[in-house]
Amino acid sequence: MGRGEFAIIGTGEVPCGNYPERSEFEMAYRVAKMAIEDSGIDKNEIGAVLAAGHIMSNPGCDYNTEMYFGRLPEAIGAKGCKIAASTISGGASSFSIMKTAEGILHSGETDTVLVVHAQRFSQFTTNEQAKFFAIAGSDLEWEVPYGMTYNALAAMVTQAYMNETGTTLEQVASVCVSDRKWACLQPNAMFNNKEITVEKVISSRTIAYPLTSLMCNVLADGGSAFIVTTAEKARKVCDKPVYFLGEASEFSHRLITRAKERDFGKWGAGFTPVFEKAYEAAGLGPDDMDIYQIYGSYPCIALMVMDAMGICEPGTAGELFERGDTWPGAKYPTSTNGEALSFGHTGTGCGFALLVETVRQLQGKAGKAQVPGARFAVKDCGGGAFMDIHATVLGNEIPG
């Protein structure tokens, strides 16, 4: 990808939360129409429709199969569509599907791609959800029998990070508070009507020490979409396109017990080169960023990512969150939609939600959450049992 070669010109998003009356198809259709309207283009200009896979898809009403077989381009009446496809890589799906879109644009088959995500966890019982995530991403022989569910994995990583860096439990809880501050400014966030405090986070029910219930994300229904095109077309049809300026990735493991870095407290050090490569590709540095969008799902991962983004000394990110430096109106606006902890965890959609929010910010369309004068932003996403990390630098202008 060349610097500023592609851009997003429109986005769509539905409220995140528990909406059993909505289907995945309705959400996908709605966000697709919203993105088209927001972009200002004609639906027939869309030459490819890409859908992110739905985690825990229901065989009785298989959204994934319908997306594979072209239901969405037909539903929205995209008569110019040539390609309908899907991709999924868990929480990293927003990155992998964007790379797919870039490949299609490079091929010359089309100059406009619609990307959609929709997820409906509410169709499954609480027990079904718990069972799925108890074993997803874990080895059935060597991990699951020892209680290594997602929350337990995150708890171990949290303990290791705190031990390595001296980060306090109050600082870990401060990440949750910061996310909620932003979510309260977001009309589509799952938890947008109740602020929380460090004391409340720490005193909530223990899930897997040291994690409490308010340190763990909540599964939710939701959907989002964006339209990506070439920079040349973007400048013609959009007043303020958002360009992809630099990207970098790293894969660590399939199973957490086989991570490249076995000392969980030092994982963040492995993230740092990824952000450095993304900054270099963009021709920018961490101090040039106006917004820092972190997808971690758990507060300790957010701290590791913040350490790696280059705006503080490694191991001191907790101090930024504790001081409120990441809150609305502060120096380092971070996870401005509230992230998985307060916006809601929509499976493969967490990265999509952050990407859509980043575009809104850089287009000046973020409403009450708007960061004044935002030009550049850095974001990450990752999937599996913290298996990988992908860093992206975006901007509403291309550095010279």
Which CATH number fits the domain that encloses residue 230? 3.40.47.10
Q: Is residue 319 part of a domain?
A: no
Q: Is residue 81 part of a domain?
A: yes
Of 70, 31, 75, 74, the closest CA to residue 223 belongs to 31
Q: Is residue 104 part of a domain?
A: yes
Q: Is residue 43 part of a domain?
A: yes
The range of the structural domain enclosing residue 57 comes to 6-124+220-237
Task: Kindly give the confidence (pLDDT) of every residue in the chain, 400 residues in length, as a single tens digit, with 9 standing for 90 and above.
Answer: 689 999 999 999 999 999 999 999 999 999 999 999 999 999 999 999 999 998 886 665 688 888 988 999 999 999 999 999 999 998 999 999 999 999 999 999 999 999 999 999 999 898 888 888 877 777 788 878 877 788 888 999 999 999 999 999 999 999 999 999 999 999 999 999 999 999 999 999 999 999 999 999 999 999 999 999 999 999 999 999 999 999 999 998 888 778 888 788 888 889 999 999 999 999 999 999 999 999 999 999 999 999 999 999 999 999 999 999 999 999 999 999 999 999 999 998 999 999 999 999 999 999 999 999 999 999 999 988 888 999 999 999 999 8
Q: Is residue 84 part of a domain?
A: yes
Query: Mind listing the pLDDT tens digit for each residue in 108-145?
Result: 999 999 999 999 999 989 888 888 887 777 778 887 88
- Write the CA distances from 237 to 10, 129, 243, integer angstroms: 10, 43, 14
Of 195, 194, 248, 182, the closest CA to residue 381 belongs to 248
Is the CB of residue 392 less than 8 Å from the CB of residue 291?
Answer: no
User: How would you class 207 by CB atoms within 10 Å of its CB: exposed for 0-12, middle for 13-18, buried for 19 or more?
Assistant: middle
Q: Is residue 177 part of a domain?
A: no
Using CA atoms, how far apart are residues 183 and 294, in angstroms rounded to an integer? 14
Radius of gyration of the chain (CA): 20
Q: Is residue 165 part of a domain?
A: no
Domain count, the chain: 1
Q: Is residue 110 part of a domain?
A: yes
